[in-house]
Structure 1
Amino acid sequence: MSDTTAPNGRSALVTGAAGGIGRAVALRLARAGYDVTINYSRSKERAEATLKEMQQYPGHHQAVRADVSDDAAVRELARIAADASGSLDILVNNAGTTSETPPDDLDGIDLADWDRVFEVNVRGLVQVTRACAPALRAGRGSVVNVASIVGLRPGPQPLAYAASKAAVVSLTKTLSRVLAPQVRVNAVAPGWIAGEWMERTLGDNYDKLMERRARMTPLARNVTLEDVAESVHTMATAHPFVTGEVIVIDGGYTATT
């Protein structure tokens, strides 16, 4: 697949990019020619490994530690990301966390866990977007939020996580109005992604349930990190008259079951 190389000075910020979706998105944007700032909270070694991978592509790439629930840290992150040019072309709000409470265990919800999930997944998204808004407006940029299929329909995820991703879907629509007309705001909602996140979610049933999911998916496989990264890149860099939309990435599973 060919790339459209970004002009010099085009920049992107990807939160929660030490591994998983964030890492895949950061690599995709670096390959497309963007100067990419990746953010991490605790996973310094993984972030450094991702940064090393990104450095195979030309550009100024950097890793910045910041807890997205800390507004002061977020404002400094935004300043660093936009420092070189004073503008920001792409913001990918990917930072997220979950709780360990089983999805059907209403009585077992730990309210401290609930608050932490919302601090990162919802308040963090708002704080990062708000801090980056001046630079995004200056660059007539684009925001892509990483939601989840469980923000749109029930699934095997803890209640706090599912509710937080539903909030991400709502915020995507609201922020598309707030930041218009200079900035587009869209979201991606991945289905079951093969890998460690779903391994933790499904436990011992991972192989059996993922195989069943693939059989029931029209495109006959499960989502990969690269699938999500490609969709994020496309939503951020193309479709100039699309905003406030949520793109489901699940090979047609949701549409047909």
Structure 2
Amino acid sequence: MTSSTARPRALVTGSATGIGRACAIRLAQAGYDVTINYSRSADRAHQTLKELAAIGGDHRAVAADVSDDAAVRALVDAAAPHGELHALVNNAGTTSETAPEDLDGIDLDDWDRVFRVNVRGLVQVTRAAAPVLRAGGGSIVNVASIVGLRPGPQPLAYAASKAAVVSLTRTLSRALAPGIRVNAVAPGWIAGEWMQRTLGDNYDGLMERRARQTPLRRNVEVEDVAESVHALLVSHPFVTGEIVVIDGGFTATT
């Protein structure tokens, strides 16, 4: 992982809550010093930082909008104070409120906002982090989504941006080889806040039906995603350019 005896360092974008928070905790448990990143959720970011501190290590929280290139470069500098980074999780993301079937209702400024964070942000963070990841023998995992691979009940801007994340993962795995591996996870319907916002009043019924249709008989939890992210970062040295679907077998069997 690194030639030095120091603890490895990780940067997880969009990590105040949800998948990012779970990834930060999992990496801290694995012995990483973690930089968490947030844009607006300062209170929740600092709560997550307290949880990391309880695990032990040198952790920090940095506010940065990943669509702002100058802020991104400052973020990477903070995450790699000794010029080495060993893991990058590109998780920062946002969505639109426009229903997936409402083509006429798409606001193009809103579309651009989603792509600035989900796609441009990923590119900017990866570009800024590439030199320190090479120095640290590091690896990247991008957080895509099942709707980047097949249609689902997500707004068109979000689904299209996650399809771009899938494509970028494969392209970057070649562009950054051989020094940096690049993979992605594509979670299915994750129980919790994100799907509650997406499904609204239908959340309980639809999630229950989804669990019944899933071979493993439950829905995805953020900890499931974090475990796969950790494995891709550290346990698969000859795997790059791959998209790991995390949905309990739903996509493979329906």
TM-score scaled by structure 1? 0.97
Residue 101 of structure 2 corresponds to 104
Measure, in 2, the Cα distance between the counterparts of 1:250 and 1:150: 12
Residue 235 of structure 1 aligns with an amino acid whose one-letter code is L
Deviations 1:60-112 (A, max 9, x none): 100000000000000010111011x3110000000000000001000000111
- In the aligned structure 1, how far is the partner of 2:5 from the partner of 2:115? 36
CA contact (8 A) 2:93 2:118 kept: yes
- Residue 7 of structure 1: CA displacement? 5.7
Structure 1 runs not aligned, ≥5 long? 1-5
SS in 2 for 1:56: helix
Matched, 1:175 2:172: yes
- The amino acid that maps onto 2:25 is L
Count of aligned pairs: 251
- 3-state SS of paired residue (2:150): coil
CA pair 109-79 structure 1, distance change in 2 beyond 3 A: same
The CA RMSD measured in Å over matched residues stands at 0.9
Q: Which residue of 2 aligns with 1:194?
A: 191
Residue 248 of structure 2 corresponds to residue 256 of structure 1: no
Separation (CA, whole Å) in 1 of partners of 2:199 and 2:131: 41
1:160 aligns with 2:150: no
Give 1:8 shift: 3.0
Residue 79 of structure 1 corresponds to which residue in structure 2?
Answer: 77
Q: Where do residues 195-234 of structure 1 align in structure 2 (5 Å cutoff)? A: 195-234=192-231
Cα distance in 2 for partners of 1:8, 1:74 equals 24
User: What residue is the counterpart of 1:44 in the other structure?
Assistant: 42
CA distance in 2, matches of 1:235, 1:250: 16
CA distance in 1, matches of 2:182, 2:176: 8
Counterpart of 1:3? Answer: none
Q: What is the CA–CA distance in structure 2 between the aligned matches of 1:216 and 1:7, rounded to whole Å? A: 47
Deviating runs (4+, > 4 A) in structure 1? none
Contact kept? 2:140, 2:183, Cα under 8 Å: yes
Quote the Cα distance in structure 1 between the aligned partners of 2:246 and 2:23: 14
Give structure 2 stretches of 5+ with no counterpart.
none
Distance 1:13 1:75 in 2: 12
Shift of 1:57: 1.6
Asked whether the equivalents of residues 7 and 33 of structure 1 are also in contact (C-alpha less than 8 Å), the reply is no
TM-score by length of 2: 0.98
- The alpha carbon displacement at 1:22 in A equals 0.3
Contact in 1 for aligned 2:97/2:155 (Cα 8 Å): yes
